[in-house]
Amino acid sequence: MGRSISNSNTVKRHTILGAGGSIGNSLAEELLQHNQIVKLVSRSGFTMSGASSEKADLTSYPATLKAVKNSDVVHLCAGLPYRYEIWEKQWPRIMDYVIEACIKENVQLIFFDNVYMYGRVEGKMTESTPYNPFSKKGEVRAKIALELEEEMHRGNINAIIARSADLYGPHSVETSMLYLMMMKNLKSGKKAQWMGSMTQPHSFTYTIDCAKAMRLLADDSKARNQVWHLPTTNPGLTAEQWVKLIADEYKTDPKLMLIPKWMVKLMGYFDKTISEVYEMLYQQEMDYHFDSTKFNSYFDFTPTSYEQGIRETIQYLDKTGR
């Protein structure tokens, strides 16, 4: 039987490690709307009305411990530059320090995670899908997820892994494939672009749903020490379906161009970010089916439809002048 969604009357002190990004911003807004106490922690000292802020380098244990102090819930939403060599060096250290600090301060940890550790999956990705990374970055994500899970299973920490598919929605324009390759181009009269298969469905998770879900998880003691897939609409859409949906909202032609795999590899010789994307192309070649039935059923939560999500994202882009 699913749980009914209600506003929590308990005020908690939430600390967001990695404020200023897609999920950090969405989560901060969600928590503030529900009258929670929010502290934003980032390298830059990112600020938001209604929240306190603090500069911190999460690769420093003293800085991490200071950031975690006086918190009830810590949300690890940090994003690192999209470089394997940076991930390999910094992610294990960050996870070590955040776990150690949360244990020392007896603070609940919610780690916002992705699906890289699953690798190439046949069928649905669920919370029980084994880790079988198909990329170097996936190996890093598997390593840090397993470290946290081990501490959870030992009973050393009260934690949750909140996992999402590729993101779209407000605050995600710097990193969202749908925005960078489709929405931005169609709005300016250019052809939308895609890499991989035109015909395989691809799930995307809406940033606002992520934020709502993470607040609900933080408020539910029975949700602790588990992996949760954040609410995502299924089935996913193919590239052709995505471009039609977006073009209809922009009232333009659904023009779409496929970037061949060989061209992505060639472009990678001249652009480091594209070279890092190349090893992840398998995600666009398979049926990328991210299943959130566990969360949807438990919390009686209906994910935002893709039509509504795209419409609200365009409204956000118009409002922010993008």
- What's 30's domain CATH number? 3.40.50.720
For the segment 117-140, the average pLDDT, to the nearest whole number, is: 98
For the segment 172-178, the average pLDDT, to the nearest whole number, is: 91
Residue 115: what residue type? Answer: V
Check residue 174 and give its pLDDT: 85
For the segment 85-97, the average pLDDT, to the nearest whole number, is: 98
Model confidence at 6: pLDDT above 80: no
Q: What's the full length of the chain, in residues?
A: 322
For the segment 67-76, the average pLDDT, to the nearest whole number, is: 98
Check residue 8 and give its pLDDT: 56
Considering the domain boundaries, does residue 223 fall inside one?
yes
C-alpha separations of 78 from 1, 41, 111, 194, 232 in Å: 34, 9, 9, 27, 21
Model confidence at 2: pLDDT above 60: no
Check residue 129 and give its pLDDT: 98
Round to whole Å and give the CA distance between 92 and 89.
7
Check residue 147 and give its pLDDT: 98
Considering the domain boundaries, does residue 283 fall inside one?
no
Q: pLDDT grade, residue 79 (50/70/90)? A: very high
For residue range 212-260, what is the model confidence (pLDDT) as tens digits? 999 999 999 999 999 999 999 999 999 999 999 999 999 999 999 999 9
Q: pLDDT grade, residue 5 (50/70/90)? A: very low
Considering the domain boundaries, does residue 191 fall inside one?
no
Model confidence at 9: pLDDT above 90: no
Model confidence at 320: pLDDT above 70: yes
Considering the domain boundaries, does residue 282 fall inside one?
no
Give how many domains the chain has, as a whole number: 1
Check residue 7 and give its pLDDT: 46
Helices (H) and strands (E) in the chain, counts: 13, 13
For residue range 49-59, what is the model confidence (pLDDT) as tens digits? 999 999 999 99
For the segment 303-309, the average pLDDT, to the nearest whole number, is: 98
Contacts of 290 (CB under 8 A, 6+ apart): 115, 124, 125, 164, 165, 203, 205, 229, 232, 234, 236
Considering the domain boundaries, does residue 256 fall inside one?
no
Considering the domain boundaries, does residue 193 fall inside one?
no
Burial class from Cβ neighbours inside 10 Å (0-12, 13-18, 19+) for residue 99 reads: buried
C-alpha separations of 271 from 46, 192, 267 in Å: 28, 20, 6
Considering the domain boundaries, does residue 6 fall inside one?
no
- Among the residue ranges 26-35, 87-96, 160-169, 264-273, the one predicted with the least confidence is 264-273
Residue ranges making up the domain that contains 103? 13-169+205-235+289-304
Round to whole Å and give the CA distance between 217 and 14.
13
Round to whole Å and give the CA distance between 105 and 58.
16
Q: pLDDT grade, residue 112 (50/70/90)? A: very high
Model confidence at 83: pLDDT above 70: yes
Query: Alpha helix locations (H) across the chain?
Result: 22-33, 61-68, 84-105, 136-153, 177, 184-187, 207-219, 239-250, 261-268, 272-278, 282-285, 293-299, 306-319
Considering the domain boundaries, does residue 130 fall inside one?
yes
